[in-house]
Amino acid sequence: MTFPEVDLVIAFRATKKTSLSKSQIRADSRKAEQQYSRLIDTLTYAGLKAVGRRGESLGHLLVFVSCPQNHVNNLIKRERHSDFLSGLPTTPVAASDDIPTLSSADRLRLVHAFVTSMPADGGLGIAPGSSEWDLVESIMALHDREFNEAWIRNWTPRHIASVQLDKIREQFGDSVALYFAFLSSYTKALIIPALLGITFYFFGTPYSPTYSTLVFVWSVIFVEWWRVRERILSLRFGTRGSFRVEKRRAEYIPGFSWWKRELRMVASLPVLLLFAGILVALLTGIFVFEAFVTQLYTGPGHQFISFSPTILFVALVPRFLAIYQYLAKVLTRWENHAHFSTHTASLTLKTFALSALVAYLGLALSAFVYVPFGEGVMQLVQVWLFQETTNGHLKGTTNSTTTDGFTEEKVAGPTGGFWDMDTTNARLKLNPGRLRDQMFAYTVTNQIINTFVEVGLPFILRRIAAFRDAKKAGMTPGSPGEKNGVKKRVVFEDEKEKGGMEEREFLDGVRAEAALPEYELFGDYSEMVTQFGYVAMWSTIWPLAPVMALLNNFLELRSDAFKMTVHNRRPIPARTDTIGPWLDTLTFLTWLSALTNSSLVYLFCPRSQSQCSTTPSGYMSQLDKVHQHLFSASGVRAPDSGADQNVGATRELLMTALLIALAASHGYMILRVIIRHIVEMLVWKGSEEVIVRERDERSVKEKFLAGVTGDEEAKTSIQSPLIEDRVEENGKRMVPNEEGADFWDNDEGLEEIMRVSKEV
């Protein structure tokens, strides 16, 4: 049996998953029966074919929706006319023109927009989350299994140089194609810092000003180049300016003033700052515990105490972020954005702000607190915890030692107890390689874990879920053919009688896809943008970080494609001409890279030498004065430096760092203006896409002047159901006799809802 083409599948939940009383279940069933009948009637009277089938559990329905070709043709005409009037690079379809052939993604996008957009925009308003359709869980599209298998099987490393964007766009839409274009471009751009990193790691010096400057310039060039590149791609895709014709969200409340929305967005800022402050305090506390306290503890199990900060991080930070993400979604809905693009941008900025803190704060604390001031702070902690000072000397039995030219007085080495009270151990326990270890963890270990979470973990979770379901249904685990549950056999027997084994296999595949999570671009963009931040801002610490990022991204292209086609539902195609808020985030990270790179070079590259030194005496030479001030504060005398001189050294260090940061910020702004102008002239001006766009616009204007597009059909739109697509006989909805029509005649929705009441 060959089934007709299914465009969309609507998941309809007749009952809640939580246990309710019998009276509540019957009331929910009556409500579900009314809403389901209204759903089928709305779809059918609008010219679509719709039929319901049983889902994966009792009360769960899958409504299959198909749009006849003549209806699709009218949707094409309406969109082309709207695009033309809104200034998009397209031409309207006249009466004498042939209807253009649609790709799979464009067809799904048109049908989905017609079903979910608000009636004011010419749609049916059937959207998950709307109060009118509260039993509609989701609307999804089915995967093209043949395309997915061929795409994954034929994807080789050569696709890095030439990603098949046209095929991706035809199958998954513009937004997904634009992501893979960004990922491919970013991966190829990483070749430059990777080569620089290898060169400076093996043949250069640590914290090289030359390497830091080149990586910073590379980051600015890439961001400005991508800014132009996405504009060229939007011309090629025909989506330039698509925000002008974007449909409104179903949750949008009309008549909402723009200034009210802006005030609500401003009102969300204190909440963001509050959670950011709490997160900074939490991460700083974990950092201090791991970096300082674990160095002083010498009691039982001290070799295992280093794992406790990781346990605290895993136990507290994800939960805190989950609470914040839920609140961010509530606040974004409260802002009442009219369109998905602005709604998504607002939510993205809120969410990524805290994710970036988690990603980069540990490195910032290590680079600007632990390594420069660690030994002094550790001595302060030791003194505050265990001893008091009198006139600048430690109480108790002391002896004097000379280290690096100044004298320290210390407690006469207690060897027992749970804590190390010997202040001279601060310098010995300080780990100058901590920054490199952190960079290795972020750019190697974390990326391996993320790949496993994306590709391998979903298989394990599905196996666990299948085992639980089999056990709950009374089946022997690992023996799918042994079914002791009568309900499951009845459902399959009905399907076998009406559609045969082929229909049963088809429905089993749809149920499996319905159980998958929806695909979201946020996670993939967030991973790549965070990685860009590590390369641009922190690779001065470990120049091999770009190499690790490049190797990871060779796998990322394929793993993202695998994840999208195997572990997630098919993305609903959407038109877009930009990567949205992620471009602003990249721009912000390039500005931060100017500050971090200049600060790292200033702190760790001695100005007394033309090259950075790897020796301990030269490595921290510019911070010794500040260390002496901290030692003096902790009760360790530094007779060569008075208190005023120590305070002055600290003030000088901080003021110089501030001036360098301001200079780097202004240098970034000047460099960005110059690079943007050069990229515009080299890449945008004279590009093939721009020339074709200008030629097409001129041709359309010439036709308009000639009166070619003045027919009345350009003024028509689909505002009413297509009556010719609906045939009624004896009060029943009928569809044209075609192959697969039996599938659309067999509706199980009302029967399944009635079964809910009978099962009580």
pLDDT at 722: 44
Alpha carbon distances (Å) from 337 to 16, 76, 332: 29, 27, 8
DSSP state of 571: P
pTM of the model: 0.83
Which helix (H) or strand (E) element contains residue 272? helix 258-288
Low-confidence ranges of the chain (pLDDT < 70): 1-4, 16-20, 90-98, 154-163, 291-304, 306, 372-432, 469-499, 606-651, 653-654, 700-742, 758-760
pLDDT at 308: 77
Q: pLDDT digits over 335-363, tens only? A: 888 888 888 899 999 999 999 998 998 88
**Helical H segments across 563-615, by residue range:** 581-604
pLDDT at 217: 95
pLDDT at 436: 83
Q: Are 278 and 320 in contact (CB under 8 A)?
A: yes
pLDDT at 607: 52
Which pair of tokens denotes residue 733? Answer: 């909805």
For residues 450, 453, 455, 460, the Cα torsion angle rounded to the nearest 10 degrees is 160
| Chain mean pLDDT for the chain | 76
**Helical H segments across 402-544, by residue range:** 425-429, 434-440, 446-451, 457-472, 486-514, 521-533
pLDDT at 4: 63
- Give SS3 for 183: helix
Angle at 262 between CA 258 and CA 264, to 5 degrees: 115
Of 380, 458, 463, nearest to 636 by C-alpha is 380
Q: Are 584 and 348 in contact (CB under 8 A)?
A: no
**Helical H segments across 51-138, by residue range:** 69-85, 104-116
pLDDT at 474: 58
pLDDT at 40: 92
Q: Are 164 and 208 in contact (CB under 8 A)?
A: no
pLDDT at 610: 42
